[in-house]
Amino acid sequence: MNIINFLNERIFWGIPMLVFFIGTGVFFSVKFEFFQLNTVKILKQTIFQKRDKSAVKDEDTLSPFQTLTNSLALTIGTGNIVALGTAIALGGAGAVFWMWASAIIGMATTYAENFLGIKHRRKASGGMKYIGGAFFYIEKALGSVPAKLYAFCCVIASLGIGNMTQINSMSSSMEHSFGTPLWVSGLIAVVPVGLLVFGGAKVLGKVTEKTIPLISLLYIVGCLAVILIFAKDVPVVLANIVREAFGFRAIGGGAVGAGISRAMSWGFRRGIFSNEAGLGSTVTMNAMSSSTDPHKQGLWATLTVFFDTIVICTLTALPILLTGADKAFSGAGDLGVNLASSAFESAFGSYAGMFVTVSVALFAIATVSGWSVFGAVCTEYLFGKSSVKPFLTIFVIFAFIGAVMKLELVWGMADLMNGVMAVPNLLALLVLGVRDEEFLESNPTP
């Protein structure tokens, strides 16, 4: 744990890495004329567009909307509830501001990732029509060794970030709300995870296009209900978020510097954990799209970041801060989901925390299933198609292990893998951002 903390704090999530993430996002934001600030027009070119003329008709592809819901299944998970709570507990209210910042500049990074993902995807040997991933454009930009290193880190990350952390959050939440033993929660999770994991991307797409909008809508309604009860305090909370983001936190009646770097570090770290902009993970899902236009699919991908962090994370943060649930933080055992549960319990009574528990469980299962596809594609890239089923078997076993592991170790490993994955991905994006002529000429500005 000490070694992992050292690597995270000093190397992978210190100031240099934050500058790398922010610098890459700002580079593409400027290059693409800050298109992400015009979300209404992005929606018109994606969700509200009647027909994508570039799309091919093939049952072995996913519709652009299915790629969105699959990507949301991969990103809208416990990161929106547990990671958000962790960021507030360890970085203060100001961490929320930096999560917003990570999302805004991350939308530009995500567009770049998925533009290149569509451009460099390849025909699949079976199952889906196309196979893709960040490792293909990393190979183009940096060579095969960095690409294989990235894919290997992704396989490890899929077992940790996209699997154990999610099920760990689910089991911890069920223990908090229902007193369910951790191992029982692990067994409960394994059944739906196994069915979805071995069903593949097409089955997952059919499930997520129906369930993710419904689950998200129910959770949004629940959060809005809490916010409405404490509506008069919303301006004060928003002011605190901005004030603490820049290092000023009210202590003992006076404003003192509380460390801008701490709020920024936890905000970006958990923001990236939540929306995965800069990690290249959503590229695999978007590469399966029926769309043949890199620009169109890139815009669809940016919506993942918008809905994940700007919408869902904000709606989680406000109830926690409005009810003062963050003030009751008393140690590692309270990280994450317990803060969200406490917020709902403050508004509606002890049983309301169960609503958060159910939400966490559903989000966790969806996220784990989405990451299984990502891990399987990376495994196939490294070891061939015959390695996929053994990987998926190991993946389901790790889902159970995650339910009973120590919380701090799981999250520490997740942060470490995020950092390792980001380095070759961001470097490849910058290399192709100045070298790829088609990429240079693309213009996502609606």
pLDDT of residue 166: 81
Burial of 218 (0-12, 13-18, 19+ CB in 10 A): middle
The per-residue pLDDT of the chain, averaged, comes to: 80
Going by pLDDT thresholds of 50, 70 and 90, the confidence category of residue 292 is confident
Closest CA to 288 of 64, 46, 10: 64
Angle at 230 between CA 229 and CA 232, to 5 degrees: 120
Strand partners, 251: 254
Helix, strand, coil percentages in the chain from 3-state DSSP, rounded to 5 = 80, 5, 15
Instruction: Map tokens 């027909």 to a residue.
Output: 51
Taking residues 127-154, what's their average pLDDT? 87
Q: Which residues contact 204 (CB under 8 A, 6 or more apart)?
A: 70, 73, 196, 369, 370, 373
Q: Which amino acid is at 39?
A: T
What structural domains does the chain harbor?
Answer: 7-33+62-441 (1.20.1740.10)
Q: Which two tokens stand for residue 351?
A: 């049983």
Angle at 157 between CA 312 and CA 193, to 5 degrees: 70
pLDDT in tens, 71-130: 776 666 666 776 677 778 777 888 889 888 888 999 999 999 999 998 888 887 666 678
* Contact present, 347 and 323 (Cβ < 8 Å): yes
Proportion of the chain above pLDDT 90, given as a percent: 14
Residue 227 has pLDDT above 90, yes or no: yes
> How far apart, in Å, are the Cα atoms of 68 and each of 87, 299, 346, 370, 422?
26, 10, 34, 11, 22
Closest CA to 161 of 338, 266, 281: 281
Q: Which helix (H) or strand (E) holds 329?
A: none
* Contact present, 166 and 186 (Cβ < 8 Å): no
- pTM, two decimals, is 0.83
pLDDT in tens, 341-366: 788 888 888 777 788 788 778 888 88
* Contact present, 181 and 420 (Cβ < 8 Å): no
Taking residues 281-302, what's their average pLDDT? 85
Instruction: Please give the distance of CA 362 from its chain centroid, rounded to a whole number.
Output: 15
pLDDT of residue 442: 67
pLDDT in tens, 160-208: 777 887 888 788 778 877 888 888 888 888 888 888 777 766 677 777 7
* Contact present, 356 and 337 (Cβ < 8 Å): yes
* Contact present, 430 and 27 (Cβ < 8 Å): yes
